[in-house]
Structure 1
Amino acid sequence: MSHTIKNVALAGASGNVGAQVLSALLDLEFNVTVLSRNSKPFPTAARVKVVDFTSVKSLSAALAGQDAVIDTTFSPDVETPLRLIDAAAEAGVYRFITSDFGLDPDLPGVHDMPVFARKKASYEAVKRQAADNRLTYTLLACGAFLDWSLSSGFSGLGFQEKKAFIFGDGNNVVPWTTLEDVGRATASVLLHPQETLNRPVYIHSVFMSQNQILDATKEVLGNEGWETTYNDMEPLLENALADLKTGNISASTFEVQIQYCLATRALAHPWARDDNPLLGLKDWDLAKVKRLIETIAHKEG
């Protein structure tokens, strides 16, 4: 049975991913309802509903008449996405897109990382609901966020100080996707409900290793003066997991787990399936990656 999706509820619309998804949904002329904890302004084309994210009843009432729900919330709280999924099922929503936006959720070991516990719980929850024919689902696998990783330092590259923190030997090739491409692909999923039914979809802007990104950066910023360290990720991961157990938690506790995955081919590698053509994304060439690096470096300078 084919479904036409027109009314879309979006949670987390003010976040890095959510803002791009909202923009893409509006560009495609979906009827968008932003689920928000307060009445802060969003683009006028979007309707805003203030909801209690701690209440399935409140969420379910807000989701009445919606064809799809997109969760782009990123807080550590595991219960919020589970309540959203339960509320969507109760309200008769057809499609739920979970807040995954990462590595391949079907690859053994990925969702066993503690940093991905929230994603794992959401994936298991939507699969249970789908098995009971209460809703359908899609996950977006996009690898690491290319632009955010470069601008935040998560990529291991410091443009101003010319320092490179390399994960392992830096040779593992992985998917990287810009936030804009993630937003466009997420909205486009809803144009293809049958082709994206009950599965992860796999997108990318580029497949590159950390060393390849470093080489591109040196071509843009100059080859001189770089301080590069190659890091054994095993002990760093062990320390991060030990800190997690003792409650000695910092941002790096979680970042190291993801960086370990990016260094490990068994956990991160180019997708076997390519959904770029389905969702209207084009692969970036090296020149475009260099332009992005130059733009980000210029802003930092």
Structure 2
Amino acid sequence: MSSKITNVALAGHENEELLTEIAQATGVLGSAILNGLLEANFTVTVIARKGGQTFPSGVSVEVVDTNSVSAIAEALRGQDAIVDATSGPDPTLQGRIIEAAVSAGVYRIVMGEFSVDPEDPVARSPLIHHGKNQAFKQIKQLAAEGKITWTTISNGAFLDWNLRTGFINIDIRSKKARYMNDGTNPLPWTMLSSISTAVANVLKKAEHTENRSFYISNVIKSQKQMVGLAKEALGSDGWDESNQDMDSKLKGATEAMMAGKVDLEVIGDMIRWSAGTVPAPRWEQLDDNALLGVERMNDDEVRELIRDIASEGKSSPESMLANK
């Protein structure tokens, strides 16, 4: 397999049919990654579940039955790499993408790990991560056999998306914060544009990024620190602040999922428990930032981002999570 990557397939674009509301986050990410790949002059093919979608000039589209490994493999013929930015309730999808990529002779897969640390068994213990855990084990075994190479890019919370939606329980427009436990656990936050830059650099620097997990962030701050910046940017009056017992939230979400309930609140509580309560020391590896072209943001830049997002208009429906 050649380490030079030119042709890149992308699964998980914004216009793709959403299986759950939570997929909106990775849909937005897929759109950002597409722009980053095009700016880096890769030849891009989008793997879509339905036709009739609009893409930038020069982007090829393959409409694929993602329930079929052979159909995915056929769409991946001639691709040097695939970036998996999919999400949804099907825990077996990532495994099918891996199997298809191996069948098609794809050299590199950038795994759909744009969140918590895949190497941390505690952060990855909630049920929502079990499908990804199996896929991560699968790709490591296949790489050890020389059948494919992989990279993961973990970025913690999507900084701009979370400020817009309140998913990490900070609603800057309503001035409402629901702290995860005491809200003091530092967590990484990364702009969507920085993630897209990192993905492009992983593929451009293929020999240096082979079979490795990377940890990137623009900011490492706790919820309380982020709210402190929001108060400085928007004013300290009128904030509604409270605390949540995240172990209790995880317990309730686990019971709900085992009973067959899979919705935004259930999935969100599991993701927030992983991101907001488990220490994330690997994000201090700032050499990963440097290699992948991700820059740190200072407090002034974060305050400016908060002011810009707060002025955009009313919160989107996802920000209702901040009210729970």
TM-score strictly above 0.5: yes
**For 2:224, which of 211, 216, 223 is the aligned residue?**
211
Indicate if the aligned counterparts of 2:178 and 2:244 stay in contact, CA closer than 8 A.
yes
Q: Residue 31 of structure 1 aligns with which residue?
A: 43
Indicate if the aligned counterparts of 2:173 and 2:310 stay in contact, CA closer than 8 A.
yes
Shift of 1:256: 1.4
Indicate if the aligned counterparts of 1:95 and 1:138 stay in contact, CA closer than 8 A.
yes
Residues 132-184 of structure 1 deviation map (CA, whole Å, 9 limit, x = unaligned) = 21100001110111111111111212223321111111111111111111111
1: CA distance, partners of 2:146 / 2:271: 33
Indicate if the aligned counterparts of 1:35 and 1:51 stay in contact, CA closer than 8 A.
yes
Q: Residue 195 of structure 2 aligns with which residue?
A: 182
**For 1:76, which of 81, 86, 89 is the aligned residue?**
89
Alignment of 1:107-146 (within 5 A): 107-146=120-159
Name structure 1 gaps, 5 residues minimum: none
Does the C-alpha gap of structure 1 residues 180 and 168 become closer, same or farther in structure 2, counting only changes over 3 Å? same
Residues 68-113 of structure 1 deviation map (CA, whole Å, 9 limit, x = unaligned) = 0111111121222211111110111100111110111111212221
For the aligned residues, what is the CA RMSD?
Answer: 1.6
Q: Residue 271 of structure 2 aligns with which residue?
A: 258
The alignment's TM-score, normalised by the length of structure 2, stands at 0.88
Indicate if the aligned counterparts of 2:13 and 2:31 stay in contact, CA closer than 8 A.
yes
Q: Residue 320 of structure 2 aligns with which residue?
A: none
Does the C-alpha gap of structure 1 residues 173 and 124 become closer, same or farther in structure 2, counting only changes over 3 Å? same
2: CA distance, partners of 1:221 / 1:148: 18
Aligned letter for 1:120? N
Residues 198-240 of structure 1 deviation map (CA, whole Å, 9 limit, x = unaligned) = 1111111111111110001111111111111022212122112
Aligned letter for 2:252? N
Residues 259-291 of structure 1 deviation map (CA, whole Å, 9 limit, x = unaligned) = 22233244x346242311101111011111111
Alignment of 1:251-290 (within 5 A): 251-266=264-279, 268-269=280-281, 271-274=283-286, 275-290=288-303
Indicate if the aligned counterparts of 1:173 and 1:269 stay in contact, CA closer than 8 A.
no
Give the secondary-structure state (helix, strand or coil) at the position aligned to 1:299. coil
Matched, 1:298 2:311: yes
Q: Residue 226 of structure 1 aligns with which residue?
A: 239
Q: Residue 7 of structure 1 aligns with which residue?
A: 7
Indicate if the aligned counterparts of 2:123 and 2:275 stay in contact, CA closer than 8 A.
no
Aligned letter for 1:122? A
Alignment of 1:188-199 (within 5 A): 188-199=201-212
Give the secondary-structure state (helix, strand or coil) at the position aligned to 2:241. strand
Matched, 1:53 2:66: yes
Identical pairs, percent: 38
1: CA distance, partners of 2:140 / 2:77: 21
Alignment of 1:148-163 (within 5 A): 148-163=161-176
How many positions carry a matched residue from both structures? 300
Which segments of structure 1 move beyond 6 Å, counting only runs of 4 or more?
A: none
